[in-house]
């Protein structure tokens, strides 16, 4: 039961009447109880499903890792044998035979690249990825120095604008993310254009956004979401080589580090990829 009462007063303020209402609230309490039970049940089922999905994901990752790893041995044999054919038997093989061996060799190399990328993809999140404060500036400088022979080869002008702050990240995973972004920025450029890449950062509340801006071919808005899925590529490998794993790895890595990734781009006007990472809060 639930009761309400109102005191009615006369002009002098004296209580003259008490009006009361009693209501049976059994039905409401039963409905509330049913809702509580339903909520608890729903939470239990969400937890159960999440655990199932996590287990399936783990299994899938273990599968990808094993398959990729085991595929490398027969691939090495293919690679070794085709090279032996090209090097040791070129004079006894007809030109067509040498060409076939070269094609086997090229295909083996492509497959090895793909397997290495898949292994790297499945490694993200497998190891302990405990994040810690990392100087974004030092991380970017180290990556740029490693990639400098490639910059020279393609005539790329790559530079940091301003200083980059400290973020919370997993160091080697962050290196891989930056490497993939800069590598793409130098790759997806018109053949006649020298790549120009600029890296800069801005703090947005509790996060730091690192921008990687290029002067490349750009990406149509309708493709800007799907390129982050594994094996999604917008060009044939003859035009731009690649496996379609790089951005998917970045997305997975950023999710594991509590961050995010995205792009702003227009065809013909270059792309501005960004990654968000937790900033270092006071006291860290």
**Chain residues in the site for ligand ADP (CB under 6 A):** 180, 184-185, 188, 214, 216-217, 219, 227, 232-235, 242-248, 271
Q: Let me know how long the chain is.
A: 284
Which CB sits closer to ligand ADP, 166 or 179? 179
Residue of closest CB approach to ligand ADP: 242
Q: What DSSP character marks residue 76?
A: H
Dihedral class, residue 218 (left if φ above 0, else alpha if ψ from -120 to 50, else beta)? left
Q: Which two tokens stand for residue 228?
A: 């982050």
Rounded to whole angstroms, the maximal C-alpha distance in the chain is 124
How far are the Cα atoms of 54, 110, 217 from residue 240, in angstroms, in the given order?
35, 13, 11
Name the minimum Å distance from CB 272 to ligand ADP: 9
Which CB sits closer to ligand ADP, 227 or 277? 227
Name the minimum Å distance from CB 228 to ligand ADP: 8
Q: Which two tokens stand for residue 281?
A: 């809060």
Which CB sits closer to ligand ADP, 72 or 233? 233
Name the minimum Å distance from CB 240 to ligand ADP: 6
Name the minimum Å distance from CB 234 to ligand ADP: 3
Which CB sits closer to ligand ADP, 85 or 253? 253
- From CA 170, how far away is CA 284, in angstroms rounded? 15
Which CB sits closer to ligand ADP, 169 or 213? 213
Name the minimum Å distance from CB 180 to ligand ADP: 6
Residue 124, helix vs strand vs coil: coil
- From CA 211, how far away is CA 220, in angstroms rounded? 19
């Amino acid at each position: 039961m639930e009761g309400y009462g109102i005191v009615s007063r006369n002009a002098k303020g004296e209580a003259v009447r008490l009006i009361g209402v009693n209501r049976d609230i059994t039905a409401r309490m039963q409905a509330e109880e049913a809702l509580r039970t339903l909520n608890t049940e729903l939470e239990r089922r969400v937890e159960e499903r999440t655990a199932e999905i996590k287990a399936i994901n783990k299994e899938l990752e273990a599968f990808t890792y094993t398959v990729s790893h085991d595929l490398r041995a027969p691939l090495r044999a293919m690679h070794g044998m085709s090279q032996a054919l090209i090097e040791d038997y070129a004079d006894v093989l007809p030109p067509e035979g040498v060409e076939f061996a070269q094609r086997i060799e090229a295909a083996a190399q492509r497959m090895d690249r793909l397997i290495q990328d898949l292994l790297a993809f499945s490694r993200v999140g497998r190891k302990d990825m405990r994040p810690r404060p990392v100087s974004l500036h030092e991380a970017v400088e180290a990556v740029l120095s490693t990639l400098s022979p490639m910059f020279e080869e393609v005539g790329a002008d790559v530079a940091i604008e301003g200083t980059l702050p400290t973020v919370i990240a997993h160091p080697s995973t962050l290196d891989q993310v930056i490497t993939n972004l800069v590598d793409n920025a130098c790759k997806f450029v018109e053949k006649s254009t020298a790549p120009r890449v600029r890296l800069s950062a801005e703090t947005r509340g509790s996060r730091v956004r690192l921008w990687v801006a290029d002067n490349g071919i750009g990406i149509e808005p309708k493709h800007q979401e799907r390129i982050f899925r594994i094996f999604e590529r917008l060009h044939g490998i003859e035009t731009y080589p690649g496996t379609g794993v790089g951005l998917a790895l970045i997305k997975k890595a950023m999710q594991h580090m509590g961050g995010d990734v995205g792009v702003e781009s227009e065809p013909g006007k270059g792309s501005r990829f960004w990654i968000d990472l937790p900033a270092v809060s006071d006291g860290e």
